[in-house]
Each structure stands twice: as C-alpha cells, then as structure tokens.
Amino acid sequence: MDIVLATRNKKKVEEMSRILGGMDINILTLDDFPSCPEVEEDANTFEGNAVKKALAITKCTNKIAVADDSGLEVYALNGAPGVMSARYAGEGADDVANIGKLLSEMKDIPDEQRGARFVCCIALAYPNGKTETFFGFAEGRIGREPRGRMGFGYDPVFYPAGYEVTFAEMSPEEKDALSHRGNALEGFKKYMKAHYSEYKEI
C-alpha cells in the first residue's frame, strides 16, 4: 500500500520513515508528485493545518495522504511561537534566526518559568474525504543557549522533561522515543494496524 507524506522536509521524511519502518507501507513524498500544489498553512491550530494539507494531497494524488503540523508552545509566552514556529523570526526565517528570536523574547524569563512543549498533530486523509487525527506532545523546558548539532528546528534549546541534554544532543532513536512526533506516530501506527482491512484495497 502507498502512503504519500505531505512534506518535502527531508529530516521529517527520514524521521517518519524510521518510525513507520516495520509496517507494510510504501512511503512516497511530494517529490514523487511534483505537480501537487503547495498548501498554505494558514489555519490557527495544528490540527487545522494538518487536516488541510492531508485533504489537499489525497485529492491531488488519489492516495492516502499523511500530513503533520507541529511546533513549539512556550507557556510563559502564552503558547508562542505555536503555529508560527517555522516562521517565528519572519517569512523564510531559518532555524538559527528562529532560535535567536525565541532566546531574546525569553531573556528575562527565570529558569523555573521556562516550561514548554512540542505539539504534533498527524492527519490521515483518505481519497473519499474521511480524515483521522493523532496528537503527540513532548514536555520540557527552554535553555539559555543552543547546544548540540542533531535534529532540526528548536532542538538545540529544548530540554525534554527529566533530561539535562537537549533534543539536539540525543541520537535520532533517543529523540523518537520521547518526541511529540514519535508519540503521534505511535497512535497513527496503532490505528493503521487496527484498520488494515479498510485501507489495503486503496
């Protein structure tokens, strides 16, 4: 069975493929469907964006589509950067700029108030328009300077709860076991196993 991942982000494809590795699923990406349109992430929730992307891609490919939307919520910043995580420092901002803005916004926030969580919503859309969503969370705190070179995004400043190292200092396998995307994908995987008879014909 084919599933199209609604992303061109290579790190996300690697991470998702690794987690879905044990299943009888042929993973395709948007690079296999160059004519599919870019979908604008203009919803104000992670779920809204994930469902919008998955529906657009199943419509364009006629295959089951999986999209995710994820980001970082800092409690002391009332949930920012939230759905703006990828472009917190402006449209087209890179990870270094986004982290720079976050650390500067948080410079006066004391250590005990630097709690944050990563959120991931995965949406599955079938060609008939049916959708399912799966959520995952990773609780932790924001450090004061970037540490580590693994991962992507805000990983160098995110310390998962109970750890003294950032996500960027962990191996991919260690991060998968704790991450919001790992948690959401576990729910997705359980669902796929339980509903095999529905999707194997598609």
Determine if 169 is a binding residue for ligand IMP (CB under 6 A).
no
Using CB under 6 A as the binding rule, the residues of this chain from 74 to 93 that contact ligand IMP are 85-86
Determine if 61 is a binding residue for ligand IMP (CB under 6 A).
no
Strands 26-29 and 2-5: parallel
- The whole-angstrom separation of Cα 103 and Cα 180 is 21
Between 155 and 169, CB nearer to ligand IMP: 155
Which of 154, 7, 25 has its CA nearest to residue 67?
7
Determine if 166 is a binding residue for ligand IMP (CB under 6 A).
no
Q: 82: which 2 tokens?
A: 């939230």
DSSP type of residue 201: T
- The whole-angstrom separation of Cα 39 and Cα 55 is 10
Residue nearest to ligand IMP as judged by C-beta position: 153
From 25-33, 55-63, 68-76, 139-147, give the range in contact with ligand IMP by CB under 6 A: 68-76
Determine if 19 is a binding residue for ligand IMP (CB under 6 A).
no
Q: Pick the catalytic residue from 2, 24, 31, 69.
A: 69
From the list 3, 16, 64, 69, which residue makes contact with ligand IMP (rule: CB under 6 A)? 69
From 30-38, 52-60, 70-78, 103-111, give the range in contact with ligand IMP by CB under 6 A: 70-78
Burial of 84 (0-12, 13-18, 19+ CB in 10 A): middle
Determine if 183 is a binding residue for ligand IMP (CB under 6 A).
no
Number of CB atoms found within 10 A of residue 94's CB:
10
Determine if 136 is a binding residue for ligand IMP (CB under 6 A).
no
Q: Are 51 and 133 in contact (CB under 8 A)?
A: yes
Say if residue 34 is preceded by a cis peptide, omega within 30 of 0. no
Sign of the dihedral through C-alpha 54, 57, 59, 63: negative
Between 63 and 167, CB nearer to ligand IMP: 167
In the residue annotation, 31 being an active-site residue is answered as no
**Residue numbers annotated as active site:** 69
Binding site for ligand IMP (CB under 6 A): 41, 68-72, 85-86, 98, 118, 151-155, 167, 179, 181
